[in-house]
Each structure stands twice: as structure tokens, then as C-alpha cells.
Amino acid sequence: MSNKIIFATTNEGKMKEIRMILADLGMEILSLKDLNINVDIEEDGKTFEENAIIKAKAICELTGEMVLADDSGLEVDYMDKAPGVYSARYLGEDTPYSVKNQTIIDNLKDAKGEERSARFVCAIAAAFPDGRVLTTEATIEGYIGYEEKGTNGFGYDPLLYVPEYDMTTGQMDSAMKNKISHRGKALELMKEKLGYENINC
């Protein structure tokens, strides 16, 4: 019986959210950084789901353990759903998100109302040593703001305005964001698929 879950990421901001969302499982959630695993996985999938599966299977094969992985990003309709699966690599992986966010704002300078529609997408994959793979996917819909707002979260969070809550995801506190976010919803769906018995096997 394992009391840990390996999550295939080194992103500390993402891990903070994941640990909060999965806290009710009462299990240790370990990142690749925690395990001193430093591998370069080529995420060459065409969809978020494909990339999540690639990461989960690669680390599962490496560790012999059940592994969860996610792939997530921002789809901006006015930009033909870019940056999409390239969200982390948009304008270069080392480019600050303040620059990435401002570039998107600039790209939408002539967009009004519904033309500014966008969403965060998150796909979660669970890979098992026996070759089984489970996936879930969820979104949070909104609009690209005219300026960055909020200092919570990370990445594109200050950019996506969610009208139902009259704020960006960067203005939401952690508890609120984790409840309604793309990652929060996708992880909750995965918890349902796995069930407590399976997740402990």
C-alpha cells in the first residue's frame, strides 16, 4: 500500500495548488524535484491530454509507481487558441510571464467583448505500472483583461477575467481558485475516477 503520489512536475506554483487540492487524500504528494528526478521529457503531443499522458507514462516507467501528470495552458480565441499547448514555452520558457501577458494584451488591442473570450484548460493523466492510463480534462472560461490584475497564483492568472466572480484568477484566494479552476476541477474528476481504494494500491 503506497501512501504517496508522484506528480510529474517541477513547477513549485503548480505543486502548491496540487497539494492543497489533494490534501483530503491524506497522502504525501511528491514532485520530481522532491525525488531528485531531472529528465527532459519531449512534450510533442498535439493536445493537452496527449502531453499529460506522455509525462505520466515516462515517469511511471522510470519509477515503477503510479504517476499523475498534468498539461495545462491558456487558449485565447482571438489568437486561434494560442498559446494553447505551447503556453509554458510561449515566447521562450525563460521569458517572464509579465512579458508573455503583456504580449497577449497587445495582440488583443483591437478585440472587444466576446472577441476576448479565453479559457484555461487542464488535462490530468494517471499512468499505472501495468500500462493502464486514465485521463480527465476541465476548463475555466473567461475573458482576457485589458491589464494584469492580481498577484495570487502564477503564470497567466492575472490575465484571465472570470465574469461570474468579477475578478481574474490572479485576484482569487487559493481556496476559491482551487475550487473553480481548470486544475482543481480536473483533479477532482481524477480523484473520482481513481477512488480511494485504487489510489492506495
Distance of CA 28 to the CA centre of its chain: 19
CA separation for the pair 108, 86 (Å, rounded)? 18
CA separation for the pair 70, 183 (Å, rounded)? 8
What angle, rounded to 10 degrees, do the helices at 182-199 and 12-21 form? Answer: 60
Q: Which of 24, 71, 130, 157 is catalytic?
A: 71
**DSSP state at residue 171:** T
Nearest in space to 68 (alpha carbons), one of 57, 76, 77, 79 = 57
For residue 68, give every residue at least 6 positions away whose Cβ sits within 8 Å of its Cβ, in sequence order, or none.
5, 6, 7, 8, 56, 124, 125, 126, 190
Verify whether residue 173 is a known catalytic residue.
Answer: no
Active site (catalytic) residues: 71
